[in-house]
Structures are given as structure tokens and as C-alpha cells.
């Protein structure tokens, strides 16, 4: 069954899992900060992700990493606007997402063509929803019990972490709707690692059906997260195989956006999941050609 998303005057059906590629335009990023130093580097990365099959490109000008100061909105816009403008001009078929929660940044990027605002603050500024409504953008609402850039890791924080996530997201949805945003323009993120220990994150992901019951698409922001590092005892760049394993498990239910660093690998994972779930099929008379049956040389 498809989950519908209203964005830029269109109603789109998410029948399986969309792949959202990540462009970190922030040198402080926990995963690949400093690897893409110039606007040209970041645009080249975005182009690579589009070629790899990304449905959405998510651009971030401020890392969610804690212990670092907030980036000035003007500096954040200097980082993200060139990429938004380039994608809007060259790849109008790809949805542009911007990872920000600051109203002035939201207004500028939506005006420039952003179709989704990925707000990791948990809608700290309700006017962000109003700006999205005015500009036709969809909004990601994330479960987060701390202010941006504040680390909260407390094993005793929640009596029932799943109940807390569901109640928070439901309340934030109503706040966004009160600001004029259509319910069909909302995407929900259970917030892996955000104000959660690895144990708490796993508890939420194991019961993700409770979030899906709110009736909106779910953002699976699993890539290189700490809960994967806790399982595998690996730092961020060594977590891709574990991230893809998590995606394979959670993408069996349709209606997702998978935020990933490795788009090509994620597309392969999603394709196999779609076929094993019965939402896609190999033609009855298809036989694998010889050039795909063997590796030579």
C-alpha cells in the first residue's frame, strides 16, 4: 500500500522506499566533514549521487554533531544555496531536501527550489511549518528531546521510549498542521541516536510500526549512526554494511525515505527487498545473460 506525500503542488505515492543521498556541506560533519571543501566539490558529489539513482538529495550546512556551536544562518546559506540552485536548474526530477531548522534558512532554500525541509530540531521554531506551507515544501519532523547541538544520553530518560517518540511526533504533527501545513506534507523521523542511547534507539526501531501507525512516510536515517557503531564496534566510515543491513530489515514495509551516504548500495538493497517482498517481480521468461553469470579476469 502506498503512502502519499504532498510536495510542490504534487501528490506522490511512496510505494516502497525512496533513496535520499546525503551531501554534507559542513566541515564539522561527524562522517565526512572536510572531504568536500568547496561548493564545486559538493556539487560534484550531488551529481554523483543523482547518477547513482538518488530520488532525493539531502543537503546539510550544519552538522548535528554535539559540542560544536551553531552555524550562523548566513554561513549556512553560503554552504547550501549553491547546491540547491544547481540541482534545481539541472535535475528538476530529483527532490531537494535541506537539513535545517532555522526559519531564515528555510525561507531562502524553499524559495530556491527545496522540496523538503529536514528539521532535526523537532520543530523548535513552529514558523518553519508555516514557511513550508506557503512554499509547498514537505517537512520532516524528528523526535528530539534536546535543543540542537546538545547531547542527551540518559539510560533512565524514558519509562517507555517508543511511547515517548509516538506522543512527541503526534504532538508536533498537530503543531505543524496548526501552522497551516497539510498533514499529507509531513514525514516522520523516529530520531535514531537523537537523545537516545543505542539501546533506546534499537527499542524504537524494533517497534517502528507504532510510528508508522501515525499514517505518514517514515524517514529511515540509519546511515553510519551510533547504534550501528555500538553493534559493530566501528567508527562512522566503517558502518556502511551494518547500515545497509538495518535498511534491509526496515524497508520490508513500504512508505520510507532512506537517508544514506552510499546511494548505489542502498539502491541495490532496496531492489532486492522489493523483489523479496513481492512488490516487484522478475519476468517469468527472464534468464540471466552469460556476461552477468561470471566475473572474468
Q: What is the CA radius of gyration of the chain?
A: 19
What contacts 102, CB < 8 A, 6 or more positions away? Answer: 73, 76, 125
**Residue 271 to residues 7, 14, 20, 289, Cα–Cα distance (Å):** 24, 14, 15, 19
**C-alpha distance across the termini of the chain, in Å:** 44
Contact status, residue 216 vs residue 186, Cβ threshold 8 Å: yes
User: Which residue in the list 42, 225, 239, 267 is annotated as catalytic?
Assistant: 225
Active site (annotated) includes residue 42? no
User: Which residue in the list 102, 239, 259, 267 is annotated as catalytic?
Assistant: 259
Phi, then psi, of 295 in degrees rounded to 5: -100, 130
Active site (annotated) includes residue 149? no
Closest CA to 257 of 206, 281, 223: 223
Catalytic residues: 225, 259
Amino acid at each position: 500500500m502506498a503512502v502519499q506525500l504532498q510536495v510542490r503542488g504534487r501528490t506522490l505515492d511512496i510505494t516502497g522506499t525512496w533513496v535520499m543521498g546525503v551531501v554534507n556541506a559542513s566541515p564539522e560533519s561527524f562522517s565526512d566533514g572536510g572531504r568536500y571543501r568547496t561548493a564545486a566539490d559538493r556539487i560534484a558529489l550531488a551529481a554523483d549521487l543523482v547518477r547513482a539513482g538518488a530520488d532525493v538529495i539531502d543537503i546539510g550546512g550544519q552538522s548535528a554533531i554535539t559540542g560544536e556551536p551553531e552555524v550562523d544562518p548566513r554561513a549556512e546559506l553560503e554552504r547550501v544555496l549553491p547546491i540547491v540552485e544547481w540541482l534545481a536548474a539541472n535535475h528538476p526530477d530529483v527532490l531537494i531536501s535541506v537539513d535545517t531548522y532555522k526559519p531564515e534558512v528555510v525561507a531562502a532554500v524553499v524559495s530556491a527550489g527545496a522540496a523538503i525541509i529536514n528539521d532535526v530540531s523537532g520543530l523548535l521554531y513552529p514558523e518553519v511549518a508555516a514557511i513550508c506551507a506557503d512554499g509547498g515544501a514537505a517537512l520532516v519532523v524528528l523526535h528530539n528531546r534536546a535543543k540542537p547541538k546538545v547531547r542527551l544520553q540518559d539510560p533512565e530518560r524514558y519509562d517507555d521510549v517508543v511511547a515517548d517518540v509516538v506522543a512527541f511526533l503526534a504532538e508536533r504533527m498537530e503543531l505543524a498542521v496548526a501552522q497551516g501545513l497539510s498533514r499529507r506534507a509531513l514525514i516522520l523521523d523516529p530520531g535514531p541516536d537523537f537523545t537516545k542511547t543505542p539501546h533506546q534507539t534499537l527499542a524504537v526501531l524494533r517497534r517502528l510500526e507504532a510510528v508508522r501507525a501515525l499514517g505518514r512516510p517514515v524517514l529511515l536515517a540509519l546511515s553510519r549512526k551510533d547504534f550501528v557503531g555500538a553493534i559493530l564496534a566501528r567508527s562512522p566510515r566503517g558502518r556502511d554494511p551494518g547500515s545497509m543491513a538495518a535498511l534491509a530489515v526496515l524497508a520490508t514495509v513500504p512508505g520510507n525515505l532512506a537517508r544514506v551516504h552510499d546511494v548505489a548500495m542502498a539502491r541495490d538493497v532496496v531492489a532486492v527487498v522489493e523483489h523479496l517482498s513481492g512488490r516487484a517481480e522478475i519476468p517469468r521468461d527472464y534468464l540471466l545473460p552469460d556476461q552477468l553469470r561470471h566475473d572474468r579476469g
